[in-house]
């Protein structure tokens, strides 16, 4: 047992950011635990990219688009060939779908959505935010391999300066899958999703009506960010649930989170308080959002947001 295997997901011919993050922390863990960093992919295109992040080998199974049972069989094959001591997955929809399936198959431990990983005394130690960010749990994950899914944006992607990884084709035994993908629907094509966005601009009930979300969209568009929303606006039907940030929406931790007209209810904070930089615009100086904001602006979003959009556009033009 040695080394670290990372589930490398490819989208549009490129390695997903979540996978690059997992590879980056994986490389550090491999250095501490001994052994090489390797990746599992279903696309040969991953080999060059994964190499950039320090993977020496890429186990490639040509099994097509994501399907739980097929991918589980393929990953199992890669794990039995490589015998890694750690298996990491980026905390994407697919990563989080697959990790528990593999853990149950191999009778090993798994920690989800971790924001810190260390190799201590021959064990994988993970830290994870729990209770809506009101606490952090540190857990030791046992098993061969120990499994973790990484929280988006928690581990900065760092290139290692290495070249392309060696491709090892693996053959996967035919399985009779009991579930099949009929169709993928993309409702708002082209829009950046909040899950992996580096910048998020969120709107709340302070927007007053659905049409005013255009203010948020304009700013998000200008700054190159994704559109987020509070649950109140989603429940009111102003915007799709995909955009909801919070306990019953998505938990995000972008580099920059701008909230306008969001009060900052505990369930909303649960989804964004670990963002690196938080700007809040709210007309109520007592709004709880100000407790987590690095920069709080007490004022009218209808005036400040468009002014900021103009400033950003100007700054970009120069």
Partner 1 sequence: MNSVVCIAQVPDTEARIKIAAGGRRIDEAGLKFIVSPYDEFALEEAIRVKEAKGGDVTVISFGPDRAQQALRECLARGATQALHIKGEVADADSLGIAKVLAAAIKSTPHDLVFFGKQGVGTDNSLVGPMVAELLGYPQVNVVTHLEVGDGKATAHREIEGAEEIIEAALPAVITAQKGLNEPRYASLKGIMAAKKITIETKSVADLGLQDSDIFNQRVTTVAIELPPEKKGGRKIDGADPAAAAKEILKYIREEAKVL
Residue 144: enclosing H or E segment and its boundaries?
none
Q: What is the rounded CA–CA span in Å between residue 260 and residue 298?
A: 10
Q: Please report how close the Cβ of residue 145 comes to partner 1 at its closest, in angstroms.
A: 12
Q: Which does 160 bind (CB under 5 to 8 A by kind): partner 1, ligand FAD, none?
A: none
Question: For strand 123-130 and strand 135-141, is the pairing parallel, antiparallel, or unpaired?
Answer: antiparallel
Q: In the set 171, 183, 237, 317, which binds partner 1 (CB under 8 A)?
A: 183
The verdict on 78 binding partner 1 (CB under 8 A) reads no
Q: Please report how close the Cβ of residue 200 comes to ligand FAD at its closest, in angstroms.
A: 13
Q: Which does 210 bind (CB under 5 to 8 A by kind): partner 1, ligand FAD, none?
A: none
Residue 223: CB atoms within 10 A of its CB come to: 18
Residues found in the chain? 318
Q: Please report how close the Cβ of residue 247 comes to partner 1 at its closest, in angstroms.
A: 6
Q: What is the rounded CA–CA span in Å between residue 106 and residue 74?
A: 13
Q: Binding residues for ligand FAD, per CB under 6 A? A: 109-112, 128, 130, 137, 139, 204-206, 230-233, 244-249, 261-263, 265, 267-268, 271, 281-284, 287, 300-302
Q: Which residue, 46 or 226, has its beta carbon nearer to partner 1?
A: 226
Q: Which does 164 bind (CB under 5 to 8 A by kind): ligand FAD, partner 1, none?
A: none
Q: In the set 12, 122, 171, 180, which binds partner 1 (CB under 8 A)?
A: 180
Q: Which stretch binds partner 1 (CB under 8 A): 25-33, 165-173, 190-198, 208-216?
A: 190-198
DSSP class of 153: T
Which two tokens mark 126?
């993970």
* Phi-psi domain of 158 (left: phi exceeds 0; alpha: psi -120 through 50; beta: other): beta
Nearest to 220 by CA among 271, 187, 249, 259: 259
């Amino acid at each position: 047992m040695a080394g670290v295997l990372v589930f490398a997901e490819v989208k549009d011919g490129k390695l997903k950011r979540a996978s690059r993050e997992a590879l980056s922390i994986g490389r550090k863990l491999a250095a501490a635990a001994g052994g090489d960093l390797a990746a599992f992919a279903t696309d040969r295109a991953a080999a060059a990219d994964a190499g950039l992040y320090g993977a020496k080998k890429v186990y490639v199974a040509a099994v097509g688009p994501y399907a739980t049972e097929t991918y589980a069989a393929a990953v199992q094959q890669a794990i039995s060939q490589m015998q890694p001591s750690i298996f990491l997955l980026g905390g994407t929809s697919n990563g989080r779908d697959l990790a528990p399936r593999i853990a149950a198959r191999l009778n090993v431990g798994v920690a989800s959505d971790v924001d810190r990983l260390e190799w201590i005394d021959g064990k994988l130690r993970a830290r994870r935010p729990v209770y809506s960010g009101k606490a952090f749990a540190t857990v030791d994950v046992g098993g061969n391999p120990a499994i973790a899914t990484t929280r988006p944006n928690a581990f900065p992607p760092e290139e290692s300066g290495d070249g392309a990884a060696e491709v090892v084709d693996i053959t996967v035994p035919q399985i009779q899958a009991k579930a099949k993908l009929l169709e993928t629907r993309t409702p708002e094509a082209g829009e950046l999703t909040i899950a992996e966005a580096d910048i998020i601009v969120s709107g709340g009930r302070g927007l007053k009506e659905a049409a005013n979300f255009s203010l948020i969209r304009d700013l998000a568009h200008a700054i190159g960010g994704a559109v987020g929303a509070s649950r109140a606006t989603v429940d009111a039907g102003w915007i799709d649930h995909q955009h909801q940030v919070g306990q019953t929406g998505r938990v995000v931790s972008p580099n920059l989170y701008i909230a306008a007209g969001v009060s900052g209810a505990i369930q909303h904070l649960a989804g964004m308080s670990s963002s690196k930089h938080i700007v809040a615009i709210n007309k109520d100086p007592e709004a709880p959002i100000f407790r987590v904001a690095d920069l709080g602006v007490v004022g009218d979003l209808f005036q400040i947001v468009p002014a900021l959009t103009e400033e950003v556009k100007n700054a970009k033009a120069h």
